Amino acid sequence: MVHTAPTAPVLCTFPNDQELQAALAHFIVKAQKESIEKKGRFTVAISGGSLPKQLAGLIDNPAVKWDKWQVFYADERVVPLDHEDSNHHLNTRELFSKVPIPRQNIHTIDPSLADDLEELADAYEKELIREFAMKDSARFPIFDLVLLGIGPDGHTCSLFPGHALLSEEDRWVAYIEDSPKPPPRRVTLTLPVLNHAARIAFVVTGESKADVLHTILDEPEKGLPASRVRPVYPGHIYWFTDEAAAAKVQYPRTPFKL
């Protein structure tokens, strides 16, 4: 029998950031180990926002094989790479400047193409094609791990509620010039790319996300962007949250096993 239905989300809730960060690091190291054993590398798509700080458990962690990581941005704001709004700048400040990851393993957008977002998005897509060495028959890249956050409106990556990009079926990297959250010009992985990942981990903390987390997990039929992230079989999706963010969620919690 061929299974294609998405697997159900696993919700793990922690009493504080320290426990969440330790569990998340443990989860990532396990995913890394499985990926390196299978393919000799670990492909990761990473977000900006509140996520990078929650990756503190990877710093000074001897189990992390940084030279095996290939990192892409799940979304990026089209600004210079050292701009305060850049997701690359943020991840560099919070994580990459503190660990021995080779710079060439971090795949950034090319801001010299900023005048033409279509060209910039195409160039980033080609970078993905090179890394994943796609076979002609493969439709989408399969990331070993995608790390995502959510905004209080239910957006994830730069996929915003009600936006036409939610219907994208073909492209891997799309651009947006009218992001409701500044800055307006961004590129983002599309839903089909997210939904072909081997594992997705959303990381959500704080009271300001409580209402939207309830809607995403308990009322997925409302179709918020984050509810549409449901990897196809055999992909898995996990939610790492604190108590404040999960306070209004009815969806069952799963104890995290170290």
Ligand X SMILES: O=C1O[C@H](COP(=O)(O)O)[C@@H](O)[C@H](O)[C@H]1O
Q: Which of 48, 57, 154, 235 binds ligand X (CB under 6 A)?
A: 48
Q: Which amino acid is located at 79 in the chain?
A: V
Site string for ligand X, 219-258 (x = CB under 6 A): ----------------------------------------
* Nearest approach, Cβ of residue 204 and ligand X (Å): 8
Task: Give the nearer residue to ligand X in terms of CB position, either 49 or 80.
Answer: 49
CB of 106 to ligand X, least distance (A): 15
Task: State which residue has the least CB distance to ligand X.
Answer: 49
Least distance (Å) between residue 208 CB and ligand X:
8
Closer by beta carbon to ligand X, 70 or else 158: 158
Q: According to CB under 6 A, which one of 13, 35, 47, 92 is a site residue for ligand X?
A: 47
Residue 92 CA neighbour count, 13 Å, CB half: 15
Task: Pick the stretch among 47-55, 120-128, 216-224, 230-238 that binds ligand X (CB under 6 A).
Answer: 47-55
- The sign of the CA dihedral 42, 44, 50, 52 is positive
* Shortest CB 146 distance to ligand X, Å: 11
Least gap, CB of 206 to ligand X (angstroms): 9
How many chain residues interact with ligand X (CB under 6 A)? 12
Residue ranges in 144-173 that form contacts with ligand X under rule CB under 6 A:
149-151, 158
State how far the Cα of 7 lies from the Cα of 46, in Å rounded to an integer. Answer: 21
Residues forming contacts to ligand X in the complex (CB under 6 A) are 47-51, 75, 87, 149-151, 158, 181
